[in-house]
Chains A and B, each alone.
Chain A
């Protein structure tokens, strides 16, 4: 993978625009998945009861696949 930065960074100072944040989503996901593949959502937490009730037995909505980001 080419790690040369292709998208706007989330800066320390200042505000990243919504459009720039959206543009960086796929690249951030690709980087993250290089070191922690798959969905790493915790399997359980103290909020399980309410989460599973709202999300049909899951702990949240399914994540958007990388290719669709």
Chain B
């Protein structure tokens, strides 16, 4: 991507006032630039859930992790983000009217692929919906009840049971059964509850 394309992309992102589009566009631009240096980025956390649900959940920061083992020295990270006119670093920057955090290696247990959205400046990898659901359900219950995390998990469950986001439900159960989570029942209960509200059969119910 040459300097004029970067400049044009930055102008577009800076002017964007829809927070979800702004995040997706920024993730698209960052992914393209970091990929040139061998690092695959993946959108995680609230921004990932927002891209999958449109749930009015995310705040004004975009969280990214490394999806492969490549790491960039601080100097290179600063150079890349400097191309975008970013301020700060070396792990979080203010750029184009938002914040971008690059948090390090991604933590994922699902065997499904990252979800992929073709963004305007390059492909965006988004955290696996299976990991996101099991994690949000865990945070909604432990270490204490967390209503915001619960609503977020319910939104993700709703788009998944309705088929707007394809989910591997057997993988949800496998991940939830891992020692890292041990929350199979909580996941089943939440998904059933949402499915009942939408009058859709729960993927966890047999015939």
Partners in one complex: yes
Interfacial residues, chain A to chain B (CB-CB below 8 A) = 3, 5, 7, 9-18, 21, 24-29, 31-36, 38-43, 45, 47, 50-51, 54-55, 58-64, 69
Of all chain A residues, which has the CB nearest B120?
A: A18
A40 touches B113 (CB 8 A): no
Of all chain A residues, which has the CB nearest B17?
A: A61
Known: A17-B118, A47-B59, A60-B58. A54 touches B22 (CB 8 A): no
B59 touches A51 (CB 8 A): yes
Judge if B97 is at the interface, Cβ distance under 8 Å: yes
Bound: A61/B47 CA distance, A:
13
Q: How many A-B residue pairs have CB under 8 A?
A: 151
Judge if B55 is at the interface, Cβ distance under 8 Å: yes
A9 touches B59 (CB 8 A): no
B155 touches A59 (CB 8 A): no
Known: A21-B117, A35-B154, A51-B60. A5 touches B54 (CB 8 A): no
Interface footprint category on B: 35 or more
Bound: A14/B123 CA distance, A:
11
Bound: A62/B58 CA distance, A:
10
Contact of B99 among A38, A43, A54, A69 (CB under 8 A): A54
- Kindly list chain B residues whose C-beta atoms are within 8 Å of the C-beta of A5: 162-164
Bound: A33/B57 CA distance, A:
11
Judge if B157 is at the interface, Cβ distance under 8 Å: yes
A36 touches B151 (CB 8 A): yes
Bound: A17/B10 CA distance, A:
21
Known: A9-B165, A15-B116, A16-B118. A35 touches B54 (CB 8 A): no
B197 touches A10 (CB 8 A): no
Bound: A16/B155 CA distance, A:
20
Contact of B197 among A32, A35, A60, A62 (CB under 8 A): A35
In chain B, positions 137-162 with a C-beta closer than 8 Å to chain A are 148, 151-152, 154-155, 157-159, 162
B148 touches A28 (CB 8 A): no
